[in-house]
Structure 1
C-alpha cells in the first residue's frame, strides 16, 4: 500500500521498492564536481533524450537556485545518487551550477558569525 503523495515506488510496510542506485543506472560518480552546498538552477533548456522521473523532479526543484543537499532531501535519495542525476542535467544543459559563496574559504569568520547569529535568533 502506498502512502499518499509518494507514488508507486514507496510502500508503507516495505519502504522504497526500487534501490536508489537503480535510479542512476548503478553509477556512483557524477561527471561534474558537486558538493552539498553547490547551487543549481534550471536554464530553461529542454533536455534531449529520455530522463527518468527523478530527473524531472530534480529539474522542477531547481527553478530557483537550490543547493544539492536540498534536492537530495526532497527526492528522498542518497546524496551520491542525487549528484549523479544532477550531473546528467548539467551535462545536457538543463541546469547550471556554481560553487557556494564560501567555496574558497569555508572557515570565513564573517560567515561563521552570521550562521551563529542566525542560530541564536532561532532559539
Structure 2
C-alpha cells in the first residue's frame, strides 16, 4: 500500500467513530435551551453544529485531505437521519425548528467545512 492510500484509510477509520460521536452528542445537545426573561433561547442547536464543524475542521487539518471531512459529514447526516426516523414517541429528533436546523444544518456545515478544508490539501508533487 502506498503512503497516500494508507493515510486515506487511516483518515476514514478515524472519521467514522468521530461522526458517530458528533451525531449522538449533537442529538443530545440540539434541544437544550435557556430561559432568559421569559424567552427560550435555543443554544443547543448552535452548539451541536459547532461541535460538528470543529470535528470536521480538526480531521481535515490532521489528515490534510477532504475525504475524512466528507466521511464525517455523510456518516453524521446518515446517523442523524436514522435517529429522526423512529416511530411515534420513539424519535430522538422531532420535526420542529431545533430538530430541522440540526438535521439540515449538519449537511450545510459539511458543505462549508469541505470548502474551508480545501486549503489543507497536499500540494501537487513536482
Query: Would the TM-score normalized by the shorter structure come out above 0.5?
Result: no
Higher share of residues assigned helix: 2
Taking structure 2 as the reference length, the TM-score comes to 0.29
Taking structure 1 as the reference length, the TM-score comes to 0.29
Higher share of residues assigned strand: 1
